[in-house]
Each structure stands twice: as structure tokens, then as C-alpha cells.
Amino acid sequence: MHPDPQANAADAQRSRQRRSALINHILAYMATAVVLVPVNFLLTPETVWFYIPLVAWMAPLALHVAYAMGMFDNKQP
């Protein structure tokens, strides 16, 4: 039995969209880190707090990575 070429094309398109969204999410995370570190040390150099929002953001980012990898897809073999 041969797989459906249209289904494969749709899966490939969905995979590209997920990967693109993940890259945007990672870029937003990195840009935020680049902004938070100097802001922290310019405004409150005596208190290091920049890591708190970055660590908190890791859980949604990890879930997004899992989603982009297709770990939540419900495909039965």
C-alpha cells in the first residue's frame, strides 16, 4: 500500500509551518534575553533578576519544541 502523496505534502507543509513558528519563538526569546540583561544591570545592578523571566519562559518554549517535533500528534501506526 502506497501512502497518499497529498497527505504527505500536507504533513510537510504543516511541519514547515511549525518549524517556522518555533524559530520565531526562539528568536523572540533570544531578543528578550539580549534586552533584559542590560536593563537589569543598568536599572538595578545590585539585584540580579533577568534570569527569572528567562527561566519562566523555558517551559512554554520546551512545549513549543515538542509540538514542532510532532510529539503531540495523535497518529496511530
- DSSP secondary structure string, the chain? -PPPHHHHHHHHHHHHHHHHHHHHHHHHHHHHHHHHHHHHHHH-TTS--THHHHHHHHHHHHHHHHHHTTTT-----
Per-residue model confidence as pLDDT tens digits over 14-64: 999 999 999 999 999 999 999 999 999 999 999 999 999 999 999 999 999
Q: Residue 56: what residue type?
A: A
Q: Is residue 43 part of a domain?
A: yes
pLDDT for 30: 98
Q: Is residue 2 part of a domain?
A: no
pLDDT for 11: 87
**Residue 5 pLDDT more than 80?**
no
pTM of this structure: 0.81
Q: Is residue 9 part of a domain?
A: no
Q: Is residue 54 part of a domain?
A: yes
State the residue range of the domain holding 39: 29-77
Domain count, the chain: 1
